[in-house]
């Protein structure tokens, strides 16, 4: 992962540099106009969050059932990133909705469940920080819960009636809009991997410091 | 002969006039039921669109400017990324400082 850091960083930077050009070239959506261009950062934010939830869920499972310490470092790093990308989605969404729907927020099933999913990972971080001894295991169980809930949040728009567009919208976008979205989505996944590498590095150094403290006390 | 010919001369109005009170009430109700919806439809019909529509008369979603919201969304994403990078850099710096301090303490022993 660390060897791939520099190429990932260069590639992500190049894609983010090119993104404004392709977003500007994409046509306006007929009913929403300019505001619809928030989609090129809003949808990738959620893709970033779901990538983080996937890593956090798998790593938490490995830590919980196999006591893999390295997996725990990945889990805590990915949980932080899930909160960060989720916050991006929760802020860009209302900015889009204010113009498209006339309201900042609607307590419908998609928006509410997305907020709750964000809060699950905030809870993970709070449990780790203030939970005392054994909090890592409790937090890992919380992450598994978030991992299990995430698909329901994604499919909620297809199951219940909601103001939010259905999951079928993105795959059926015309190429002129789908192309820039694919570019920014990939750029966000690369950004997630770059930030994950950095955050795991921090977790590793913290683990070394903890070991040094233990050795120093002995 | 006389009665029939007089009805024929007066026509439908004469028939109405000769209706009983109940008959006239039913006819009035029927007229009201037929005419009222049309009259209401005429009253609620949207006024004809002129070429100029003041911005305050537009629907709320059309009045809100899109550009500031779009800029705010993109700016927030970048601010969040830069802030998160700064927190990692700061935490990493603290850990490295603590490790250095701890190493110095150990060598002094």
Judge whether B51 lies within some domain: no
Task: State how far the Cα of B92 lies from the Cα of A24, in Å rounded to an integer.
Answer: 37
From first to last of its 218 residues, chain A has per-residue pLDDT tens of 678 889 999 999 999 999 999 999 999 998 899 999 999 999 999 999 999 999 999 999 999 999 999 999 999 999 999 999 999 999 999 999 999 999 999 999 999 999 999 999 999 999 999 999 889 999 999 999 999 999 999 999 999 999 999 999 999 999 999 999 999 999 999 999 999 999 999 999 999 999 998 888 77
Domain span at B35: 1-45
Residue among A45, A102, A191 minimizing CB distance to B60: A102
Judge whether B54 lies within some domain: no
Judge whether B53 lies within some domain: no
Judge whether B12 lies within some domain: yes
Residues B41 and B10 in one domain: yes
- Give me the sign of the Cα torsion angle A149, A155, A156, A160: negative
- Among chain B, residues having any CB pair with chain A shorter than 8 Å are 59-61, 64, 66-67, 69-70, 72-74, 76-77, 80-81, 84-85, 88, 91-92, 95-96, 98-99, 102-103, 105-106
Residues B65 and B109 in one domain: yes
Judge whether B56 lies within some domain: no
A132 Ramachandran zone, left/alpha/beta (phi>0; psi -120 to 50): left
Judge whether B91 lies within some domain: yes
What interface predicted TM-score (ipTM) does this complex get?
0.94
Residues B67 and B41 in one domain: no
Chain A residues with beta carbon closer than 8 angstroms to that of B85? 195, 198
Residues B30 and B74 in one domain: no
Residues B72 and B105 in one domain: yes
C-alpha distances out from residue A13 to A17, A186, B104, Å: 6, 12, 39
Judge whether B10 lies within some domain: yes
From first to last of its 109 residues, chain B has per-residue pLDDT tens of 444 444 445 565 566 556 677 777 777 777 776 666 555 555 555 556 667 767 677 776 677 889 999 999 999 999 999 999 999 999 999 999 999 998 888 887 6
If you measure CA to CA, which chain A residue comes closest to B60? Answer: A102
Dihedrals phi, psi of A29, to nearest 5 degrees: -70, 140
Contact B73 A41 (CB under 8 A): yes
Residues B84 and B108 in one domain: yes
Residue among B66, B76, B95 minimizing CB distance to A91: B76
Contact A95 B72 (CB under 8 A): yes
Judge whether B24 lies within some domain: yes
Contacts of A32 (CB under 8 A, 6+ apart): A99, A100
Of residues B89, B67, B77, the one with CA closest to residue A84: B77
Q: What is the tally of structural domains in chain B?
A: 2
């Amino acid at each position: 992962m660390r060897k791939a850091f520099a190429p990932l960083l260069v590639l992500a930077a190049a894609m983010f540099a090119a993104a404004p050009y392709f977003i500007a070239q994409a046509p306006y959506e007929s009913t929403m106009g300019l505001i619809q261009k928030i989609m090129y950062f809003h949808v990738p934010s959620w893709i970033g969050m779901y990538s983080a939830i996937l890593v956090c869920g798998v790593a938490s499972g490995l830590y919980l059932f196999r006591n893999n310490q390295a997996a725990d470092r990945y889990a805590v790093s990915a949980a932080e990133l899930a909160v960060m990308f989720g916050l991006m989605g929760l802020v860009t969404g209302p900015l889009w909705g204010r113009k498209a729907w006339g309201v900042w927020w609607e307590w419908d099933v998609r928006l509410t469940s997305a907020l709750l999913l964000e809060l699950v990972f905030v809870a993970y971080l709070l449990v780790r920080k203030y939970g005392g001894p054994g909090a890592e295991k409790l937090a890992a169980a919380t992450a598994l819960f978030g991992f299990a809930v995430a698909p329901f949040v994604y499919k909620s728009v297809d199951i219940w009636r909601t103001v939010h567009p259905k999951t079928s919208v993105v795959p059926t976008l015309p190429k002129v809009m789908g192309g820039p979205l694919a570019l920014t989505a990939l750029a966000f996944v690369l950004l997630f991997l770059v930030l994950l590498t950095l955050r795991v590095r921090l977790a590793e150094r913290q683990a070394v410091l903890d070991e040094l403290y233990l050795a120093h006390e002995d | 002969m006389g009665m029939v010919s007089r009805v024929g001369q007066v026509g439908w109005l004469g028939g109405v006039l000769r209706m009983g009170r109940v008959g006239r009430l039913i006819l009035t109700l029927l007229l009201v039921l037929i005419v009222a919806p049309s009259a209401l439809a005429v009253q609620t019909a949207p006024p004809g669109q002129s070429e100029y529509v003041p911005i305050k008369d537009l629907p709320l979603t059309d009045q809100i400017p899109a550009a500031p919201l779009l800029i705010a969304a993109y700016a927030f994403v970048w601010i969040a990324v830069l802030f998160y990078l700064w927190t990692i850099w700061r935490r990493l710096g603290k850990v490295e400082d603590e490790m250095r301090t701890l190493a110095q303490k150990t060598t002094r022993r």
